[in-house]
């Protein structure tokens, strides 16, 4: 029998959240891969088999040792892709896939017993759809991309009659060795110090809601895409302001918070990929982290200066991204400080790709990226295509009308500031207040 291995900090944090909350379903994530044609179920299963067995962070169970310490126990039993026939192709694929995944997203995995992934191949007359539901312990956003890309490589090799590719995933022990190295641990200690200093200097952290309530039902999602012409103006403003469209979106989110609270100190929560070293980039398991991005704006700042501040702060955040948010919250608790350390959370997702499966084109839909007790903005960046933002919110804190109002204000802020980059933050905030608040 294989020897159980320790968990990384990120896995341990996720395991603890799952165990302590008693609500493992909150940590389920799901995607739907839409095939623009028909594919081979047999090649897909063979590909999954090869990918699964190439990574012990996938092929494992998360057991609890006698002293209640969680461990990763290698287990190479590969999940079976469950095939289901559909009478017709769904008209609204996203809605259909969300509805299909709903019961599986609402069911917790048994970390001790089960493979933490379920796969369903839905076979309609014209197209096939692969719905994947997994626990966040197994995959984060980047991990999902890595997993899908490996699956695709294997499938295409099989379709061409070639040998299956050698997949070079980083194994659990390699990741542990890296994370136990002196350099890494020193970096974490420094990160702890810096993050606590940032929070000491941060006044009250605001989000879009003043209420507090736990998650009582699945998050509700509002999805909106920028109009093409507005997106072109944002791209042009990015060129003029020597910034990126994502920084303009972050500036717009910050401006809408400034307008709401009339405070120029904004703290966003930013999902960090938390993969700096090459071994981390070749491992699909959870590594991402959510950390505070404190932004201390001057009211007279224009778009270019606001984007520069955001850029500078993100660069600083990258250096401290290995320190877990859960540890940071514990630090704050020990010091008797506020546990509200994050405003609305933003997840920038540049991982979109549309690989072909033996010539069949694909389109991937993120059905759930986890559950938030506040509001999370998942920003899908698709090269020159206008960005789409999913607003996932805790229904106990945000009504449909609240979320729509937040979306409208953020989109308006982005358009106003991109169209007139010389406006100050205070002017943008005033325009937003006059129009919406």
Partner 1 sequence: MSIPKLNHYPLPRDAELPQNRVDWDLDPSRAALLIHDVQHYFVGFYGEDNPLIETMIQNIQGLKAYCYEHNIPVYYTAQPIKQGKHERGLLSDMWGPGLQDPTQQPIVDALAPTDKDVVLTKWRYSAFQKCDFEQQLRDKQRDQLLIVGIYGHIGVMTTAVDAFMRDIEPFLVADAIADFSKEEHMMALNFVAKRCGKVVSMSEILGTQSQDLTSLDGLKAHILTLIDCEEDEFDEHESLIDYGLDSVQVMNLISLWQQQGIETNFIELAQIPTLAAWVELLEERKED
By the criterion CB under 8 A, which residues form the site for partner 1? 142, 145-146, 149, 228-229, 232-233, 235-237, 239-240, 244-247, 273, 275-278, 281-282, 314-315, 318, 348, 350-353, 355, 381, 383-384, 419-422
Taking the complex as a whole, how short is the minimal distance between the CB of residue 63 and partner 1, in angstroms?
Answer: 30
Annotate 286-306 with b (16+ C-beta within 10 A) or e (fewer).
bbbbbbbbbbebeeebbbbbb
Taking the complex as a whole, how short is the minimal distance between the CB of residue 419 and partner 1, in angstroms?
Answer: 5
Taking the complex as a whole, how short is the minimal distance between the CB of residue 356 and partner 1, in angstroms?
Answer: 9
DSSP state of 217: S
> What is the 3 state secondary structure string of 284-323?
CCCCCEEEEEEEECCCCCCHHHHHHHHHHHHHHHHHCCCC
Of the pair 122, 283, the CB lying nearest partner 1 is at: 283
Of the pair 6, 282, the CB lying nearest partner 1 is at: 282
Of the pair 28, 288, the CB lying nearest partner 1 is at: 288
Of the pair 127, 244, the CB lying nearest partner 1 is at: 244
Taking the complex as a whole, how short is the minimal distance between the CB of residue 58 and partner 1, in angstroms?
Answer: 15
Match 């320190």 to its residue by tokens. Answer: 323
- Angle at Cα 287 formed by Cα 119 and Cα 313, nearest 5°? 130
Query: Encoding tokens for residue 10?
Result: 């990120």
Query: Encoding tokens for residue 421?
Result: 């980059």
Taking the complex as a whole, how short is the minimal distance between the CB of residue 335 and partner 1, in angstroms?
Answer: 31
Of the pair 219, 302, the CB lying nearest partner 1 is at: 302
- In angstroms, the CA 418 to CA 424 distance is 12
**For residue 230, how far is the Cα from the chain centroid?**
25
- In angstroms, the CA 177 to CA 181 distance is 6
Taking the complex as a whole, how short is the minimal distance between the CB of residue 235 and partner 1, in angstroms?
Answer: 5
Three-class DSSP category at 365: strand
Closest CA relative to residue 249, chosen from 434, 431, 380: 380
Three-class DSSP category at 240: helix
Burial of 356 from C-beta contacts in 10 A (0-12 / 13-18 / 19+): middle
Of the pair 18, 31, the CB lying nearest partner 1 is at: 31
Taking the complex as a whole, how short is the minimal distance between the CB of residue 278 and partner 1, in angstroms?
Answer: 7
Taking the complex as a whole, how short is the minimal distance between the CB of residue 169 and partner 1, in angstroms?
Answer: 10
- Angle at Cα 71 formed by Cα 68 and Cα 76, nearest 5°? 140
Of the pair 60, 314, the CB lying nearest partner 1 is at: 314
**Contacts (Cβ under 8 Å, ≥6 apart) of 401:** none
Of the pair 34, 247, the CB lying nearest partner 1 is at: 247
- In angstroms, the CA 359 to CA 354 distance is 11
């Amino acid at each position: 029998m294989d020897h159980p291995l320790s968990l990384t900090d990120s896995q341990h944090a996720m395991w603890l959240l799952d165990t302590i909350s008693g609500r493992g379903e909150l940590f389920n994530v799901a995607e739907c891969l839409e095939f623009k044609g028909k594919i081979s179920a047999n090649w897909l299963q063979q590909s999954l088999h090869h990918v699964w067995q190439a990574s012990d962070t996938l092929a494992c169970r998360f057991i609890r040792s006698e002293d209640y310490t969680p461990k990763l126990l290698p287990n190479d039993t590969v999940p079976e892709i469950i095939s289901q026939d559909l009478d017709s192709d769904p008209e609204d694929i996203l809605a259909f896939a969300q509805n299909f995944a709903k019961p599986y997203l609402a069911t917790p995995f048994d970390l001790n017993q089960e493979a933490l992934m379920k796969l369903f191949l839905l076979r309609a007359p014209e197209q096939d759809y692969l719905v994947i539901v997994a626990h966040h312990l197994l995959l984060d956003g980047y991990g999902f991309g890595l997993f899908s890309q490996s699956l695709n490589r294997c499938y295409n090799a099989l379709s061409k009659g070639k040998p299956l590719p050698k997949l070079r995933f980083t194994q659990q022990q390699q990741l542990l060795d890296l994370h136990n190295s002196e350099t890494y641990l020193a970096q974490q200690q420094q990160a702890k110090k810096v993050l606590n200093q940032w929070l000491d200097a941060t006044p009250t952290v605001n989000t879009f809601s003043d209420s507090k309530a736990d998650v009582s039902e699945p998050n509700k999602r509002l999805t909106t895409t920028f109009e093409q012409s507005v997106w072109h103006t944002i791209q042009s403003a990015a060129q003029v302001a020597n910034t990126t469209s994502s920084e303009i979106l972050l500036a717009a989110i910050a401006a809408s918070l400034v307008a709401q609270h009339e405070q120029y100190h904004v703290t966003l929560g930013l999902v960090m990929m938390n993969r700096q070293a090459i071994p981390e980039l070749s491992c699909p398991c959870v590594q991402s982290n959510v950390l505070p991005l404190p932004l201390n704006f001057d009211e007279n700042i224009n778009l270019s200066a606001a984007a520069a501040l955001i850029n500078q702060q993100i660069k600083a955040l990258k250096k401290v991204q290995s320190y877990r948010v859960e540890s940071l919250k514990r630090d704050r608790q020990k010091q008797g400080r506020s546990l509200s350390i994050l405003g609305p959370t933003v997840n920038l997702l540049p991982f979109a790709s549309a690989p072909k499966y033996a010539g069949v084109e694909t389109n991937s839909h993120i059905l759930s990226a986890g559950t938030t007790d506040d509001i999370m903005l998942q920003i899908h960046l698709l090269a020159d295509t206008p960005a789409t933002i999913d607003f996932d919110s805790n229904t106990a804190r945000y009504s449909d009308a609240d979320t729509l109002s937040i979306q409208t204000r953020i989109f308006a802020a982005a358009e106003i500031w991109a169209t007139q980059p010389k406006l100050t933050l205070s002017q943008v905030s005033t325009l937003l207040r006059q129009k919406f608040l």
